[in-house]
Amino acid sequence: MPGSSGSSASSSSSGSSGSSARSPARRPGSPARLAGSPARLAVAASADSPDLRQDWPLLRQALAEVGIEASTQIWTNPDVPWRDFDLVLANGAWDNIHRPNEFLAWIAAVSEVAPMANSPAVLRWNLDKRYLAALSEAGVATVPTTWLTPDSGEIPLPRTEFVVKPTVSGGGFETARYPAEGDERAQPANDARPHIERLLNAGRTVMIQPYQAAVDTDGEAGLIFLGGRYSHAIGKGPLLRLGVGPQSHLYQREQIGALAPTEAQLEMAHLALAAAERLAGPTVYARVDLVNLADGAPAILELELLGRP
């Protein structure tokens, strides 16, 4: 779900469509599909993006050509008959970051009546970026992170440039880059404390990470895995600028291109995905985002996972 929704949704849709073609067993109470009729795939979408992205018609046509009748369904619409579908693909519900508890309840309800990809276990684990702490405990290098909860008390800020965001976020929502305390650029409009306090007062958990200077020169690397196997990689240019402050909208324009990952990046991505699958379950699609630390070593910035149904 997540954080970098820029290019991943279309990739993850295609990655999981192979799973739908296998027509997984229906949940008890679900109607049987007539022999010879197309498999029915529901792609859960948000109300403000009901048609996903511009390439959705192409993907829908490609699915139809292999016998899959695909449609988008608004996940917050209580009238959608989820039990009528052979598979529910839950990676287009991009506004779930605004209502995570409602989304988790929806996952529990739909998984009772229809097979899901993302699987419920992976959805729950991947929704909150506190999974980075679990990866770190498992021996995976991650970007150093300070975690703040509403009862944390004092707010420690790094002595270098840093980034603030809620642990349930995506697409740059409520994410901002700030200068170090004492930096001459740290004017009142750049003060991170009101941003942090507002999030904490809303009951959110906040993460603070030192900004990695390599993002401005090398960008981020996103390594794509299908069925646990490496497929390809993308490079993403810097997104956050000093002085802009937190953004209330969900999507930000990204600079994305093809990337040939280094051996170190490949090794780290494989290590992170293996740990994530041990912790949350197997995946049909994964995007592993990495950034180089000051010493040049790659570290995990975030994961976007689609769990096997």
Give dist(CA 14, CA 307) in Å, integer: 14
Residue 224 is predicted with a pLDDT of 98
- Integer distance in angstroms from the first to the last C-alpha of the chain? 17
Sequence-distant (6+) residues with CB within 8 A of 79 are none
Q: Which fold has domain 8-123?
A: Rossmann fold (3.40.50)
- Residue 36: the pLDDT is 60
Looking at residue 180, what is its pLDDT? 83
The confidence score (pLDDT) of residue 157 equals 86
CATH fold, domain 131-141+217-307, is D-amino Acid Aminotransferase; Chain A, domain 1 (3.30.470)
Q: Where are the domains of the chain?
A: 8-123, 131-141+217-307, 146-210
What tokens does 52 get? 């996903």
The Cα diameter of the chain in Å comes to 70
- Beta bridge mates, 74: 45
Put simply, whether the predicted model's pTM sits higher than 0.85 gets the answer no
- The answer for residues whose C-beta is within 8 angstroms of residue 257's C-beta and 6 or more apart is 234, 235
Q: Which residue has the higher pLDDT, 218 or 254?
A: 218
Confidence of residue 131 (pLDDT cuts 50, 70, 90): very high
Question: How many Cα atoms sit within 13 Å of 263 on the Cβ side?
Answer: 0
CA–CA separation, 309 vs 304, rounded Å?
16
Give per-residue pLDDT as tens, 66-124.
Answer: 999 999 999 999 999 999 999 999 888 989 999 999 999 999 999 999 998 888 999 99
User: Among 123-137, 189-203, 242-256, whose mean pLDDT is lowest?
Assistant: 242-256
